[in-house]
Amino acid sequence: MSVADQRARDLRRQIIRSPGHELQLAPRTLVAELFEGDEAARNGDGPALAQAVLAYHGVEVKPRLTEAAGDEVLLRTTPRFALQGAIATALVFAFLGLLVRPLYGLLFAVAGGIGAFAAARWAAAGSGPARRFAPGRTFGVAAALVPLLIVLVLAVPPLRAHYRKQHQQAIVGAYVQAANRLMAHGDLKGAAVQLMLAENALPGSGAIANARAQLDRRMQHPASPCPRPRCRPHALGWGGAPAASAGCRSWHWRRSCSSAARSSRGR
């Protein structure tokens, strides 16, 4: 800690002990008190440096030292600087979280709000960490980072795992549906390929196991392409040709069934 920081901290304590938490000093006296022995700071950018050091320690100067034209300036403690640092940090995290998922942005906004409230309260009362650390913008950033990092470490990974599992389950559902459609049309090899892709996406899924069991039964006991009764020769279709039975599902099977009916009728 520099000499100017130590003197600014002592000045803040003096302000807190003053009636109304306010203190009036002449600008030259204030600059000389902060930078005693530093002629360059006192004669050059002394007012701007003093303004920055006091803001770092949560002390507001009215009017600003760079604009002071009167004999005295008013010094008072304020949580405004700590609140600015905390809010800026919370907004950055909330915006980045919102780009990934709205829920992340909401969680970061709530955590940053808690940190900003705590930083403002500590800075206003001079209690908690504000007793040991300068309650300026840097203090607000640190106060907001604590709950934000807690959310980042404890809340975000489980949510990411949950969303990843949901995505995998949706992929598996699509593969299983495709496999069921292929089995319904008799394409058992295509169904097996779809189930293999589903197992690669999410091994151990119950939906995959059920579809796999159904596929195994179909492969052990393949069904005929046109279940009995194969067709109804007595039902005439267009132009007097025998119509295909309701059990024939595809155009190829309907054609085969009708051909078989015509052959049996000719005999």
Q: Backbone phi, then psi, for 244, in 5-degree steps?
A: -75, 150
213 and 235 belong to one structural domain: no
So what's the pLDDT on residue 265? 47
Tell whether 225 is covered by a domain: no
Partner residues linked to 22 by β-bridges: 76
195-227 tens-digit pLDDT: 888 888 878 778 888 888 888 888 887 655 545
The CATH number of whichever domain residue 32 belongs to comes to: 1.10.10
* Residue 206 or residue 266, greater confidence: 206
Contact between 126 and 135 (Cβ < 8 Å): yes
pLDDT of residue 222: 64
Cα dist. 41→62, 113, 120, 171 in Å?
A: 20, 38, 31, 67
Query: Which range marks the domain in which residue 150 is found?
Result: 81-154
Whole-number pLDDT of residue 85 = 95
User: In the 3-class helix/strand/coil scheme, how is 19-77 assigned residue by residue?
Assistant: HHHEEEECHHHHHHHHCCCCHHHHHCCHHHHHHHHHHHCCEEEECCCCCCCCCCEEEEE
> Does a structural domain hold residue 167?
yes
Q: Is the pLDDT of residue 246 over 50?
A: no
Residues 48 and 23 both lie in one domain: yes
Q: Phi and psi (nearest 5°) for 249? A: -100, -25
Q: Is residue 215 part of a domain?
A: yes
- Closest among 100, 99, 29, 30 to 61, alpha carbons compared: 30
Is residue 180 predicted with pLDDT exceeding 80? yes
How far apart are the C-alpha atoms of 109 and 90, rounded to whole Å?
6
Q: How confident is the model at residue 96 (pLDDT cuts 50, 70, 90)?
A: very high
Cis amide leading into 158 (omega within 30): no
pLDDT recorded at residue 37:
59
Average pLDDT over residues 53-82: 84
pLDDT value for 70? 64
Residues 119 and 141 sit within 8 Å (Cβ to Cβ): no
Instruction: State residue 91's pLDDT score.
Output: 96
Residue 267, pLDDT > 80, answer no
Output the average pLDDT for the chain.
79
| Residue 39: predicted pLDDT | 56
Taking 90 as the threshold, does the pLDDT of residue 137 lie above it? Answer: yes
Residues 24-29 have a mean pLDDT of 80
Q: How far is CA 111 from CA 52, 106, 117, 136, 157, in A?
A: 28, 9, 10, 20, 16
The answer to whether 4 and 35 are in contact (CB under 8 A) is: yes
Has residue 49 been placed in a domain?
Answer: yes
Residue 115 has pLDDT above 90, yes or no: yes
- Across the beta sheet with 73-77, the strand order is 22-25, 73-77, 59-62
Verify that 214 and 249 share a domain, yes or no. no
Look at residue 250 in the predicted model and tell me its pLDDT. Answer: 45
- Which of 154, 177, 207 is the endpoint of a domain? 154
pLDDT at residue 150 tops 80: yes
**Which of 134, 137, 196, 203 is CA-nearest to residue 168?**
203
- The pLDDT value given to residue 201: 82
Greater pLDDT, 39 or 218: 218
| Same domain (yes/no): 88, 113 | yes
List the one residue out of 145, 138, 108 whose CA is nearest residue 123: 138
Neighbours of 2 (CB within 10 A): 10
- The residue among 95, 130, 89 whose CA lies nearest residue 112 is 89
Out of 78, 99, 118, pick the residue that ends a domain: 78
Give the CA-trace dihedral at 238, 244, 246, 251, to 10 degrees: -100
Residue after which a domain boundary falls, among 131, 154, 177: 154
Task: Specify the range with the lowest mean pLDDT, choosing from 59-73, 157-171, 217-231.
Answer: 217-231
Q: What is the pLDDT of residue 151?
A: 96
pLDDT band at 71 (very low <50, low <70, confident <90, very high): confident
pLDDT, position 24: 84
In a shared domain, residues 113 and 165: no
Structure confidence at residue 203 (pLDDT) = 81
Under DSSP, the state recorded for 236 is E
Quick check: 247 pLDDT over 50? no
- Reported in sequence order, the residue ranges of the chain that DSSP labels E, i.e. its strands, are 22-25, 59-62, 73-77, 231-236, 242-244
How many independent structural domains does the chain possess?
Answer: 4
Specify if 226 maps to a domain.
no
Judge whether 209 lies within some domain: yes
